[in-house]
Structure 1
Amino acid sequence: MTQTNHRIPVPGGALHALHSGEGDTAIVMLHGWPQTCREWNAVTALMENQHQIIAPDLRGCGDSFKPMLGYDAVTQADDVLALLDHFQLKQAHLVGHDVGGPVAYAFAASHRSRCASLSLIEAPLWGVVGDGVPDLLSMFWHLQFHQDVDLAEKLIRGDIGAYLEHFYRDFGFNPDAISPAEVAEYVRAYSGIGALRGSLMHYHAIPETAEQLKKLSADKLTIPVAAFGSEMVMSGYCQAVAALVAENVTGGVVPACGHWVPEEKPQAVADIIAASIAAASA
């Protein structure tokens, strides 16, 4: 796998991104917490012979800039737009995992001519609720805790490695799915100056993002949308919530899998994305 590093200017700073592959079809993959663009490496290796793949570090994470503001989904959707412009792409297929999901959806809904398809993998859509679609804030303890950024940062920093490894192991169907080397790299990435605070700002922005997504959902997407949860964590939530924001939804549950789907089941993720690309060109 051959990846090149890029710095993409955005208002106030720059995003770091990995680019690989070639061809007319481009896929932008947005990572979750507590991870970086590296979470997509196994999926990229399966797809880069057919497509261009761009995996940025979200603002506040990895080697991207770590501002004090701008962690709402609509502002980050503009970060993605700058990414497409940097690579001179008219359109891209968006993929979002975890906190990358609201950003991917906001991009698809805010910049409709630039998004060819959307794949949501274990991704919450804050503020979008309905029959059979719960408010996830009431289901996972850390979502509220992380919104109190100053307190959470102080407590987590006491043993950041143990805290992050709790999520990698306890939220994984296979507790060893993320290797010790990758765990060490993620801990390094989240231990840098401003990194832990910046990553927690994604949670601090949940109320603002929730209002944005509720407003955007009034005009449903018409592009192909694939939405898959894992058997262990979000299960059928992802497909159900996607049906509230889009007209053309396929989805389901990835069996024998936890939250870290790109690492636990990379072939399944590659197949989901490939099906979305095929549906967009049909």
Structure 2
Amino acid sequence: MKILPNLVRHLGAALIGLAALQAHAAPAVHDRMVDAAGLQIQTLQAGNGPETPVVLLHGYAETSHMWLPLIPRLADRRVVLAPDLPGAGTSSIPASGFDKTTLAQDIHAMVQAMGYRKVKLVGHDIGLMVAYAYAAQYPDEVESITLMDAFLPGVGDWQKVWLLRDLWHFHFYGDTPLKLVQGRERIYFEHFWNDFAADPKHSVPEADRQFYARAFGQPGRMAAGFEYFHAFPQDAVDFAGFAKTPLKMPMLVLAGEKASGAFLIEQARMVATNVNGVTINGAGHWLMEEAPEATMTELVRFINAPQAETNMRSRAAD
């Protein structure tokens, strides 16, 4: 009878195919709580390849959750770390130290505690400010840096940037603002998710809006978020000082055409000598949500490229 040999052959082929699929499956993403700088920093971690680890830093009204679509695309050849900034997500809420210089020191302590020295940095919004402060303080430990749509306080004519057209929310902190938004976190965040997008209907997805509203609705989280803005005057002083020593590592700047546009690229060239500027056509501030494929393609290309290929240029991307 040929049935049994055929069955064995087909079963063997199926097992080989399953093994191949598993070998090419997306790397698993794990949650870790890392003790560093007197804080507990919650971190998403994936990958274990030999290349330089990447640290992904989220912005305001989001958490490390925003990076989940990108992590598998980078984790095929390196460790990828996406922490919740102190005060956000499930990381500790510090009593003070929401200036970006201190937050960068906290993230650096986390990286050191995990056993890594040299990293590549990616930051969006508030996260780009933390990434810049990290690179400025530890330039020998940063192989490359990516800044994604926002601005650098204290650099150039920074107070005229597009994202500052609504100055009220940068002064919105204290007891009364907290009472006004308690239980209404989603309403408050809708301003950012909708008004900073090129098209509110193609901005942060509904499921993510619910996730972030719940996260920031936890005790102390909105107060911590307000402190990111409250610290801008100190950030401006610190960054003006950092800018006196231009960064030399390759820098990618991704800016939404309908948001930061050329402004962030111009700022970057005031603080770094090797800037690779890309404007994402048609996108607003929420690059990972409004233009995910174009954004992730640029990120993966830059992070995976040999350092010699990350030369200065400026262009637009669809």
Per-residue CA deviations over 1:54-93 (Å, capped at 9, x if unaligned) read 1000011111111220111111111121222132112111
What is the number of residues matched between the two proteins?
279
Amino-acid identity (%): 29
Residue 149 to residue 226, structure 1, CA distance change in 2 (3 Å):
farther
Task: Determine the C-alpha separation between the residues in 2 that align with 1:143 and 1:114.
Answer: 34
Partner of 2:290: 264
Asked if the contact 2:147–2:251 (Cα under 8 Å) also holds between the matched residues in 1, the reply is yes
Q: Distance in 2 between matches of 1:139 and 1:165?
A: 16
Distance 2:256 2:147 in 1: 11
- For 2:270, give the aligned amino acid: L
User: Residue 128 of structure 1 aligns to a residue in which SS?
Assistant: coil
Structure 2 CA distance, aligned partners of 1:92 and 1:265? 26
Gaps of 5+ in 2: 1-25, 310-318
Residues 154-165 of structure 1: pairs in structure 2 closer than 5 A:
154-157=179-182, 159-165=184-190
Larger Rg: 2
- The residue that corresponds to 2:256 in the other structure is 230
Corresponding position of 1:54: 81
Q: CA deviation at 1:265?
A: 2.2
Task: Give the 3-state SS of the residue equivalent to 1:199 in structure 2.
Answer: helix
- List per-residue Cα deviations over 1:122-168 (Å, max 9, x = no partner): 031111115xx65437523344333x343332222252211212322
- The residue that corresponds to 1:80 in the other structure is 107
The one of 38, 43, 63 aligned to 2:70 = 43
Distance 2:203 2:170 in 1: 26
Normalised by the length of structure 2, the TM-score is 0.82
Structure 2 CA distance for aligned equivalents of residues 149 and 31 of structure 1: 24
The offset of 1:281, in angstroms, is 5.3
Gapped runs of 5+ residues in structure 1? none
User: What do you get for the CA RMSD once the two structures are aligned?
Assistant: 1.9
| 1:12, distance to aligned residue in structure 2 (A) | 3.1
Instruction: Check if 1:68 corresponds to 2:95.
Output: yes
Structure-1-length-normalised TM-score: 0.92
Q: Which amino acid aligns with 1:43?
A: L
Worse-matched range after superposition: 97-106 or 9-18: 9-18
Instruction: Tell me the residue number matched to 1:273.
Output: 299
Tell me the residue number matched to 1:197. Answer: 223
CA distance in 2, matches of 1:57, 1:279: 29
Q: Say if 2:36 and 2:113, in contact at 8 Å, map to a contact too.
A: no
CA contact (8 A) 1:68 1:198 kept: no
Paired letter, 1:95: V
Name the amino acid aligned to 2:89.
G
- The aligned residue for residue 105 of structure 1 is 132
Q: 1:141 aligns with which of 167, 175, 183?
A: 167
Whether the 8 Å contact between 1:72 and 1:202 is mirrored in structure 2 is yes
